[in-house]
Amino acid sequence: MKVYTMEEIGKHDNKENGIWVTFRQGVYDITEFVGKHPGGSSKILMAAGGSIDPFWSIFANHNTPEIYSLLESMRIGNISEEDAKSNKNDLYDAYANEPTRHKALIINGHKPFCAEPPSSMLVESFITPVDLFYVRNHLPVPEIDLKDYTLELAIEGEIKKTLDFEAIKKYDKHTITAAVMCGGNRRSEMSKVKKLKGINWNVGAVGNATWSGARLCDVLRDLGINEDAFNHIQFEGYDLDPSGAPYGASIPIAKAMDPRADVILAYEMNGKSLSRDHGFPIRVIVPGVVGARNVKWLNKICVSKQESQSQWQQGDYKGFSPSTNWDNVDFSKSPAIQEMPVISAICDPQDSDVVEIKNGKIQVKGYAWSGGGRKIIRVDVTNDKGKTWYTADLVEDLQAKQGRYWSWSLWRVELPVEKNINEIEIWAKAVDSAYNVQPESFANIYNIRGLLCNAYQKVKIQLKQ
């Protein structure tokens, strides 16, 4: 095999010269592959002319035999011995300092860490315990020392103010109960329609917690901005991708400035300091809005005319028509998901469970939620494919004010079942206070990223007489 120096490799960082990368000892010509990279060509081009090791260390889902052999097929040679020696990337593990996690979590991705609780545990309590609350990280968990923590406040990129942790705690403490849900919750059901891309969440990429902190509107008001001159409030996390870009997202300024929208810079979850996985020391909670905008490990807030330019605001977390595919998708044409649609899930029993009949009935439990502060007004459940609907009993946040219903509602219902039937299918659908109701089928809401998966849940179970 040919031997190359890093200097030579470095010249191959553009289309004209061809695009090369290195991985461990190998040198690869990926010119033809760039356009086909599932994560987008801009992502893979960050490694052009250099090593992909640090990227794969962070986006560790690349470390599979299939991807290694795909890469091998593009090999053109080796790194010179001298350069290989000084290349210490092999030893570097960006995930060496992750927190320990609860054993009960079902892991959907190790690096970055993504996990959800078993669904039957999820509906055991109205407030989800911190250790069982789903975790969705895109990057390694940053290590933050409270003494060094700062939050920068900027207008159009220019820093106007820097707050330390104590300065944030000086603002009035505000406590809300709110569910946070990932835009991809229940994706595994949508993926049965057709192949799609994303973490294979079951029904557990949601949790309900109390959050305490400073109101974003109070902090922004002290900046003395003219609200009408701007459109968005952008957030950046302390978690950085290999190019040094932070996780980022934004919300409309109207939401951020509205005291009744209850957007808070949270430092407590369920009455305790935030845990590392959930954003220590500060994260923004934007109730009623998709999880992705609830930026953890908050480093910077920027008032702007523009939305966040981050990949997660611009090139992800958007919905599309079922007929949009990876060849014709144009991310610039769809708005970023903000408020979430009405959704419910059956958590107990689960698909293919064997359920005991008691007094001619079976018990079914789940949760329901809607974005934008809309309350769940009803959950309907059927076990005869919609001929008969039973209304479930709701456990709800009795303190919530109208239009500010941020919590989920738990529900339970006793369904009568006929004798001598071995298998039934249970469906559930929720209705929110705007009388929005869930769509019946996933086929008609399918989208390539598997987001907004709010069709009726349909669960088949076995009956034990």
Catalytic residues: 37, 62, 136, 182, 317
When CB distances are held under 5 to 8 angstroms depending on the partner's kind, the choice from ligand MTE, Mo ion, none that residue 137 binds is ligand MTE
Q: Does 371 bind Mo ion (CB under 5 A)?
A: no
Q: Does 369 bind ligand MTE (CB under 6 A)?
A: no
Q: Please, are residues 460 and 423 in contact by the beta-carbon 8 Å criterion?
A: yes
- The least CB distance from residue 25 to ligand MTE, in Å, is 32
Calpha distance 201→304 (Å, rounded): 33
Closest listed residue to residue 55, CA positions, set 23, 11, 81 = 23
Query: Nearest residue by C-beta to Mo ion?
Result: 182
- The least CB distance from residue 3 to ligand MTE, in Å, is 39
The residues in 407-426 that bind ligand MTE, with binding defined as CB under 6 A, are none
Measured in whole angstroms, the distance separating CA 179 from the mean position of its chain's CA atoms is 13
At residue 437, φ and ψ (nearest 5 deg) are: -130, 155
At a CB cut-off of 8 Å and minimum separation 6, what does 423 contact?
460, 461, 462, 463
Q: Does 133 bind ligand MTE (CB under 6 A)?
A: yes
Q: Does 295 bind ligand MTE (CB under 6 A)?
A: yes
Q: C-alpha distances in angstroms, 105 versus 205, 311, 327?
A: 11, 28, 36
Interacting residue with ligand MTE among 12, 186, 215, 296 (CB under 6 A): 296
The residues in 218-277 that bind ligand MTE, with binding defined as CB under 6 A, are 237, 239, 247, 277
Interacting residue with ligand MTE among 21, 182, 190, 257 (CB under 6 A): 182
The residues in 238-297 that bind Mo ion, with binding defined as CB under 5 A, are 291-292
Measured in whole angstroms, the distance separating CA 337 from the mean position of its chain's CA atoms is 12
At a CB cut-off of 8 Å and minimum separation 6, what does 148 contact?
none
Q: What 3-state DSSP class applies to 188?
A: helix
- The least CB distance from residue 96 to ligand MTE, in Å, is 18
Q: Does 203 bind ligand MTE (CB under 6 A)?
A: no
Query: How many other CB atoms are there within 10 angstroms of residue 284's CB atom?
Result: 25
Q: What 3-state DSSP class applies to 433?
A: coil
Q: Is the peptide bond before 281 cis (omega within 30 degrees of 0)?
A: yes
Interacting residue with ligand MTE among 12, 43, 138, 300 (CB under 6 A): 138
Q: Does 373 bind Mo ion (CB under 5 A)?
A: no
For the chain, how far is it from start to end, CA to CA, in angstroms? 69
Interacting residue with ligand MTE among 48, 178, 292, 368 (CB under 6 A): 292
Total residues contacting ligand MTE by CB under 6 A comes to 20
Interacting residue with ligand MTE among 21, 122, 123, 135 (CB under 6 A): 135
At a CB cut-off of 8 Å and minimum separation 6, what does 210 contact?
127, 175, 176, 177, 268, 269, 270, 271
Interacting residue with ligand MTE among 128, 137, 308, 313 (CB under 6 A): 137
Q: Does 191 bind ligand MTE (CB under 6 A)?
A: no
The total number of residues written for the chain in this structure: 465
Calpha distance 132→117 (Å, rounded): 6
Q: Please, are residues 368 and 381 in contact by the beta-carbon 8 Å criterion?
A: no
When CB distances are held under 5 to 8 angstroms depending on the partner's kind, the choice from Mo ion, ligand MTE, none that residue 453 binds is none
Q: Does 136 bind Mo ion (CB under 5 A)?
A: yes
Calpha distance 267→278 (Å, rounded): 10
Q: Which is nearer to ligand MTE, 271 or 416 (CB)?
A: 271
Q: Does 291 bind ligand MTE (CB under 6 A)?
A: yes
Residues in touch with Mo ion (CB under 5 A): 136, 182, 291-292
Residues in touch with ligand MTE (CB under 6 A): 133-139, 180, 182, 237, 239, 247, 277-278, 291-292, 294-297
